[in-house]
Amino acid sequence: MTLRTRYRRIKYKVKSAIALKRLQNDPSREKFTCPICEYSGVFLDFTPETGTRPHAQCPNCESLERHRVQWLTMTELRKEIDFKKLRVLHMAPEKFILERLRPLCHSYVTADIDGAGVDFAEDLTKLSFADASFDLVYCSHVLEHIRDDAAALREIRRVLAPGGIAVLPVPVFSDVTVEYPEPNWHEHGHVRAPGPDYSERYKKYFDSLRVYTSDNYDSRFQLYLYEDRTGWPNAKFPHRRPTAGTKHLDYLPICRVKV
């Protein structure tokens, strides 16, 4: 970690601690339970460039809505699959998931496009791994950054063994998928705004698809995205579409290869 990153991290931690103290003193503030770290209490608001999302972040493990949906779904899958046998490839790994999933699995490889802090530098559209070398590919919030997502999906399918599983969530913040003419750096280089229809693309590459959503689990885990999407498009997000409502679902597509 560079000195600059460490400084920003400390600044963020102090800001979060102050915000948490303030929220804990508000008796009207709703309380939740984190299924990842088992913290119970108020959750923090999270403010990316798109605007504030109330109750988004667990103040203990820093998980966001999507991480909690993912962990609950992994817990569901563990009821039917022996994770001790799984060879896992985790692309762009999230620390909340990585730290808890790795000890449960047979083997665990991490990779990212730049190779920083992971086992391998890998381009998802041209993976260096052999065919059928993994049983589970975990790739969360990556495909929305890749223009040639068909190549990425082909590669994920290629490295999966028979019976393999691909965990492929993307952020869904549009009623229908919109391809951007250029990457938007206000949203970390997204090349599209996926809609719920996006996971239909997976059906071409995998034998089955099941999409889990926030609605599949208890609301005490706070799995919804509370976000005002009515102001899009705007100068920073010129290709997003306006969407009504302030409470939105998170989606988690699980794809399978037949045995």
36 binds Zn ion (CB under 5 A): yes
Kindly state whether residue 118 participates in binding Zn ion, applying the rule CB under 5 A: no
CB of 130 to Zn ion, least distance (A): 36
Site membership for Zn ion, residue 39 (CB under 5 A): yes
Decide: is 61 part of the binding site for Zn ion (CB under 5 A).
yes
Contact letters (x/-) for Zn ion, 180-219, by CB under 5 A? ----------------------------------------
CA separation for the pair 86, 197 (Å, rounded): 29
Are the CB atoms for 225 and 249 separated by under 8 Å?
yes
Report whether 93 contacts 74 (CB < 8 A): no
Decide: is 92 part of the binding site for Zn ion (CB under 5 A).
no
CB of 114 to Zn ion, least distance (A): 27
Size of the site for Zn ion (CB under 5 A): 8
Query: Which span sits near Zn ion by CB under 5 A: 34-42, 76-84, 150-158, 219-227?
Result: 34-42
Q: Does 167 bind Zn ion (CB under 5 A)?
A: no
Residues of the shown chain interacting with Zn ion in the complex, contacts defined by CB under 5 A: 34, 36-37, 39, 58, 60-61, 63
